[in-house]
Structure 1
Amino acid sequence: MTATALYTDLSGYYDLMCADINYQAQSDTVHRIDQFFGNGGKRHLDLACGTGPHIRFLLDLGYQSAGLDLNQPMLELAQQRCPEADFSCQNMCEFQLSQPVDLITCFLYSLHYSQTIAGLTACIRQAHLALNPGGVFCFNAVDKSQIDNASVVSHQAQHANSKFIFTSGWFYPGQGELQQLRLRIEKTENDQTEVWQDAHPMVAVTFAELQQLLAPYFDVQILQHDYDKLVAWDGSAGNALFVCVKH
């Protein structure tokens, strides 16, 4: 089953799958970053927005937000959650806007859905074009050289009469520009268990390579992946926040 088909099938359960994510803390951190590094504008775009939880919090913080995603069922749920926001079904590597924005976000490591270095480069270029002068592109990323293929995260959730177990982990084969996000979803209801498994193709980069791709377009700050305080990346952690200010 492809990644798009999986998410379409389970779009109604997506928020359960992400129930352990503190969207408010992430959104508050973006707001602080934007206050410190941004141009003072309030027009915001969320790439790969899913069901729109980041957008909901940023709307409540006073932004004029929009979102794009490739998955239409996700966008329909996002529109219900954020009726005052604009949503469009677009590829983040080749999207178009009617007017520029001041802040672009892309969280849950979704920038890696660019799939190839060429796609990632195109996404970075489009983000640059879509921003007003001094605008901020903020996202999180993982360094391929730091991936532990044996490491997984898992959590459980209850929905109606069903029990869900969600498990995910990165896999990098050791060379090349492709890594995988391996996902397993187990649903049990009335002693019957269904299992979905998939390996999503994701672009693989080191942070040094990512900095090189960003440098022609942005002034880049790399921060620790910490939503309690803004601290410079320690140079060794395998995930980080990237704050990119348009030249």
Structure 2
Amino acid sequence: MCRRGADVTIDIMYGDEFSEVYVSYYEGQGKDYAAEAEDITRLIRERTPGADSLLDVACGTGAHLRRFNQLFAHSEGVELSEGMVKFGRVHYPELTLHQGDMRDFHLGRKFDAVTCMFSSIGHVGGPDGLDATARCFAEHLVTGGTLVVEPWWFPENFIDGYVASGVSEVDGRKMVRLSHSVREGDATKITVHMAIADAERGLRHVTEVGLLSLFEQARYEKAFAQAGIDAEYVEGGPLGRGLFVGTRR
């Protein structure tokens, strides 16, 4: 991490400052984490009736997990970012959060369902990382259990040079987000600038730069199949990127 006065440059989704405003920004944009968790729960129970335990991988601060925790008798989350885990543990002490890499974590138990939302799977770092992640998913799923993964864009859907912007206000804090996405080999390089202002702390600025792998639909399906999960791609999903829904053999 490097600092320049009020500016902070961090890896995408990893710094304390970004963790603090991450969920607030998207909620201010109208993202309904609870409703999304309810939709995913219905999808899970259509395929695994009676499913009552769930693991949310790359759970961030626990925004989806808070609702999953109410809908399942037992739920846990795994997240790589120390800042996000720390934030979640402080603000949502009822949640069980583990710090771990989705490509290599071992909790020592299996769940009726495993989820990975908000295109977090794009951060696996390439085909080997995707295969390792799929194996970790399978390791934590009971036979007949359901996997739900929200992918990043497929290569043919990604718009090179895409620019996005948004403004949110939550509890008196204003947040302005600008992003620029370009193709870099088989990945998306996304640069995000966020300006944050409130009465107590004034104005500050966070810059994030990250890479999200661009996998074809067939490559996702191959990774899941090799891990013992029969998965299908379902159009739609919370962000229009679709969902992979699979069953552990």
The TM-score range, normalised by the shorter chain, is: 0.7 to 0.9
> Which TM-score applies when normalising by structure 2?
0.84
String of CA shifts for 1:38-82, please: whole Å, max 9, x gaps.
Answer: 253311111111111111111222341101111223113323454
In structure 2, what is the Cα distance between the partners aligned to 1:80 and 1:61? Answer: 22
CA contact (8 A) 2:12 2:210 kept: no
Q: Distance in 2 between matches of 1:211 and 1:38?
A: 20
The corresponding residue for 1:232 is none
2:79 alignment partner in structure 1? 69
Aligned length: 235
| Structure 2 residue corresponding to 1:202, chosen from 200, 212, 218 | 212
Cα distance in 2, alignment partners of residues 139 and 169 from structure 1: 24
Judge conservation of contact 1:120–1:203 (CA < 8 Å) in 2: no
Q: Does 1:17 align with 2:28?
A: no
For 2:55, which of 45, 55, 72 is the aligned residue? Answer: 45
1:5–1:86 distance in 2 versus 1, CA, 3 Å: closer
Residue correspondence of structure 1 range 2-151 to structure 2 within 5 A: 2-3=10-11, 7-19=15-27, 20=29, 21-38=31-48, 40-141=50-151, 142-151=153-162
Q: Deviations over 1:168-188 (max 9, x none)?
A: 354323xx4322233221234
Shift in Å, 1:155: 2.0
Instruction: Give the structure 1 partner of residue 6 of structure 2.
Output: none
1:178 aligns with 2:187: yes
Once residues 145 and 168 of structure 2 are traced to their aligned partners in structure 1, the CA distance between those partners, rounded to angstroms, is: 38
Q: Does 1:211 align with 2:213?
A: no
Check conservation: 2:12, 2:208, Cα contact below 8 A: no
Distance 1:238 1:86, change over 3 A: closer
1:59 is paired with a residue whose SS is helix
Query: Are the aligned partners of 1:177 and 1:204 in contact in 2 as well (CA < 8 Å)?
Result: yes
Q: Distance in 2 between matches of 1:5 and 1:129?
A: 26
> 2: CA distance between counterparts of 1:131 and 1:139?
13
What secondary structure does 2:121 align onto? Answer: helix
- Aligned pairs for 1:151-170 within 5 A: 151-159=162-170, 162-168=173-179, 170=181
List per-residue Cα deviations over 1:80-111 (Å, max 9, x = no partner).
45433311111110011121111111111001
Distance 2:91 2:14 in 1: 21
Percent identical: 20
Change (3 A) 1:63 1:145: farther
TM-score when normalising by structure 1: 0.85
* 116-125 vs 206-215, greater mean Cα deviation: 206-215
RMSD of aligned residue pairs (Cα, Å) = 2.4
Deviation at 1:126, TM superposition (A): 0.8
Q: 1:106 to 1:226 in 2, by over 3 A?
A: closer
Structure 1 distance, partners of 2:16, 2:220, is 30
Are residue 242 (structure 1) and residue 244 (structure 2) matched? yes
- Preserved CA contact (<8 Å) 2:235 2:242: yes
Residue 222 of structure 1: aligned partner:
233
